[in-house]
Amino acid sequence: MVKRVHLVRHGHHGQLGRLCGRMSGVALDDLGQAQMRACAAVLAPAPDLIESSPRLRTRQSALFLAAHFRLPVRTVAAFDELDVGDWTGSSFEQLDSDPRWRQWNARRGSTRPPRGESMAELQRRVVQHLETLRRDGSDSVVAIVSHAEPIRAALLHYAGVSVDDFSAVPVEPASISTLATSHDGFLIEQINRQVPL
């Protein structure tokens, strides 16, 4: 079975003041590129497989790992960003005046963004992918480059914590969270390890 899964958030980009969701064209900035170089240098144990969300910022981030470890990158839809529907591209300042935003942040487990995806749906697809990796029979380490919400959803699941408590799990840009296999599932080994620059 897979020994470990590193959940790596993409590096910094210039749109972090917005709810980017699945916006196209959101690219790493210079800081994000430096973060991902640093992340590749400290990621251990080394991955045998690198996977990435389909978004540009995650694919760019994954390429820094791929270059360091001389591995290809496999794109996986299961670790795509949360679909925030009508809120895509909105600034957090704009969202603060929307009562639906406040309601969603208070009860993520039972609400959803307008015309978007629920945290429960996100968590299901993320956990299903992780469990498929865990049972695949290989003795490998996998690095998955994704976004704060999919990573947070995975960590909350394996910690046995409700998605309503999403803010209890920090997931900073270029951070590393690691899951280790047990006979029954995954155990959380580390959360939100930030890389030195």
79 pLDDT above the threshold of 90: yes
Long-range contacts, 187-193 (Cβ 8 Å, 24+)? 187/158, 188/155, 188/158, 188/159, 189/4, 191/155
List, for residues 7-29, the tens digit of each pLDDT value. 999 999 999 889 999 999 999 99
Q: Please give the structure tokens belonging to residue 92.
A: 């957090």
Q: Give me the DSSP letters along 174-193.
A: T-EEEEEE-SSSEEEEEEEE
Confidence of residue 1 (pLDDT cuts 50, 70, 90): low
Q: For 192, left (φ over 0), alpha (ψ -120 to 50), or beta?
A: left
Query: 2 or 53: whose pLDDT is higher?
Result: 53
Q: What is the pLDDT of residue 9?
A: 98
Please check the confidence at residue 120 and state whether its pLDDT lies above 80.
Answer: yes
Q: Are 57 and 25 in contact, with CB atoms under 8 Å apart?
A: no
* 139, pLDDT greater than 90: no
Is pLDDT above 90 for 136?
A: no
Mean pLDDT of 110-129: 96
Side chain identity, residue 15: Q
pLDDT band at 138 (very low <50, low <70, confident <90, very high): confident
C-alpha span between 29 and 15 (Å, rounded): 10
Query: Model confidence at 196, in pLDDT bands (50, 70, 90)?
Result: confident
Considering the chain, what percentage of its residues have pLDDT values greater than 70? 99
Q: How many helices (H) and strands (E) does the chain have?
A: 6, 6
Looking at every residue in the chain, the average pLDDT score rounds to 95
Domains of the chain, CATH where assigned = 4-193 (3.40.50.1240)
pLDDT(197) > 90: no
pLDDT at 185: 84
Residue 71 confidence (pLDDT) above 90: yes
* pLDDT category of residue 184 using cuts at 50, 70 and 90: confident
What gap in Å lies between CA 186 and CA 171, rounded to an integer?
Answer: 18
Whether residue 125 is predicted with pLDDT greater than 70 in this model: the reply is: yes
